[in-house]
Amino acid sequence: MRPQHRVQPSAWGALFLLVAAMACFVVLDTTTKVVTTGVPMLMALWVLFLVQTLVTGGYVLAVRGWASLKTARPGLHATRGSLLLVVQVLAFFSLKYLPVGEYTALAMTTPLVVTLLATRFLGEHVSVLRLVLVALGLVSTLVIVRPGSNAIGWAMLLPLALVLFNAAYQLLASRMARTEDAVSTVFYTCSTALLLSSLPLLWVWEPVADLNLWLGLGLMGLAAAGGNMLFILAFERAPAATLMPYMYLQIGFGIVGGWLVFAHIPDFWALVGMGMIAACGVAGGVLTLHETRLRQRERQAGGARDGVALG
């Protein structure tokens, strides 16, 4: 049963929500790279999931009530929470060895994988021209990171493994958005990850006296909670094949974050790759509008024919 408070689908509203989610995720990644130099990884993960659970749980209690937590898919929520934990562990290790921009570029091959898999697992139509844009987006990320240049080395395997788990996580998010409440999904997902990360906590916990580290941990949790909620809300309003091309914007956010916080300036080829990705994003937007208008005209033409036949 679909939640009664859902709004009508809107492609432009979904795009705005998705871009905001991407910005939140870059804040999370940038802060993670700073905080995990002074805090054990598992401890940081636990605080991350704790803040997300408290934020979403507080919102449910204050605004929607416990009735909104009713679900017929507890197994899917548990699976999604487990995938989130794996994705975050791989993300933390990746950010330990890679600059934020390069890590983001590698991780952004996930939309390419999801766009292709959406045709099989979600039954969404992906046009040939959109597939061409997906291929160009993949080439663009390779131009940025240049894996054959030994600039990254073995650490490149970490975000590549993340891509596989993140693709499954995002496909499941898109599927669950059809029947599950967005905030409840985030709450159950974070609660599952919190429970799993609590198991080894006694062995890794260390006292933290630096207030800046605690503030960083809190910011990580808030950015993750906001990003996940916005991400799911975006998928409530538009299909995965429509939204995925725009997720390449996160690469630009990541490069800016790496420059502002770590003074990591992109080189010439990174800028070339960014220009290619921007071109693919604009072309994808134009294509989305064109395909939407074509479908609307086809429905209108079909309705007119039905009206003539009935008359």
Q: In this predicted structure, what is the pLDDT of residue 7?
A: 38
- Cα–Cα distances (Å) from 74 to 92, 106, 118, in that order, read 27, 32, 23
Instruction: For the chain of 311 residues, list the mean pLDDT of each consecutive stretch of 10.
Output: 43 84 92 90 91 85 73 82 91 87 78 71 70 79 66 69 85 74 80 90 84 92 86 76 73 86 82 76 69 71 56 53
Q: What is the pTM of this model?
A: 0.76
d(CA 172, CA 13): 21
Residue-level pLDDT at 241:
62
